[in-house]
Amino acid sequence: EEITITVISDNLDLQVKPDTIAGCVPLDITFTNTTSDTDEIVYKWSVDKPQTQWEYVQGSETEKSPVFNFNKEDVYKVSLEAKNKCNTKYLDFEIQTYDEVHFALDALPVVCGEYTFDASSAQEGLHVTGTQSNIKSINWVVYKSTDNTNGNYQVAPSETYEFTAGDINTLFPIIKIKEWGYYKIELQAQTICNDETISTTIEIEEPIVITITKPDPLCANIPDEYNQNPYTLIVEPTDGVWSWASTVPQDEQDFLDANNKIFYPNKPGTYNLKYSVQRKACYAEDFLEIIVKDYPTLDIGTDIYVCEKDQTPVLLEAMPNDGVWEGNEVSFDGNRSEEH
């Protein structure tokens, strides 16, 4: 009878190498094993994380050269136990995986005059999904529309905005836009796994400046023969609304024709009007005081007769006494007159 005696090497020389030890998920890694098979080696692979985070794409835990898939960002320890009848050896491999980082900017409201963009704001800011340490670079750019519409953007002049916190390379800066117009705020981001460029727009309305022309005192109760016209309210800009500044009696409410911007001086008194302008975001108001006086009733007395060549001044009396006398061939000195 014969028996075979196999001499197994006591030196278990493992030759195992992964094709990469870091990458972005989902990540496939092949562990190439070139160890000689003459020693009847038994392999057992294991990973220190739950199998919900990884799986075998090729082979199993006893595969000589398995392929793993890693689907979640983490640091993994992949272990190999290899043994033959004489020896057992262990190898550990550290695998680093990374997720993509994604960015989103909120839609911004229409505002008046100026706007401060705070990237850390939960409602009007930047939102980052993923591990921020995976971000390699950040660059913010502010653009301004060349025609004050939501388009035709060029890099905004430096005097139109400033960084009040952080700078163009800060993830969550604060940017103050100081002039009205249409702007685009853009983020250019590079990460380990992906690059993204995103933007949001903001409309900043021009503040409203109201200019009201105040009339001289108006007159009420003018006789019909003078055919007095109502007063047209003069104001810039013209797209606002006239209203009473406070509550007025019922019989005075129709003195103001707000639709046609006309005021009727039907009754002596002091009237206070309000003019307001509302745009998308900007609002302004101003007030106008209109003074209406009663049409005066004149009493100049009776006719006066004087002798020709009489140089004695004649006292002219009238009520009210704040008027002005006019006449032919007569000179006036206050309420005194001299005939020529």
Q: Summarize pLDDT for 131-186 with one digit per residue, the tens.
A: 999 999 999 999 999 998 888 999 999 999 999 999 999 999 999 999 999 999 99
Going by C-beta distance under 8 Å and a sequence separation of 6 or more, which residues neighbour residue 310? 339
Euclidean distance between CA atoms 325 and 55, whole angstroms: 111
Pick the closest to residue 206 from 122, 111, 340, 324 (CA basis): 111
CA quadruple 249, 250, 256, 260: dihedral, nearest 10: 160
Kindly give the parts of the chain with pLDDT less than 50.
Answer: 335-340
Give the per-residue pLDDT at 144.
Answer: 97
DSSP letter for 69, please.
E
Euclidean distance between CA atoms 224 and 227, whole angstroms: 5
Give the per-residue pLDDT at 166.
Answer: 98
Give the per-residue pLDDT at 332.
Answer: 55
Give the per-residue pLDDT at 334.
Answer: 53
Give the per-residue pLDDT at 340.
Answer: 37
- The three-class DSSP label of residue 279 is coil
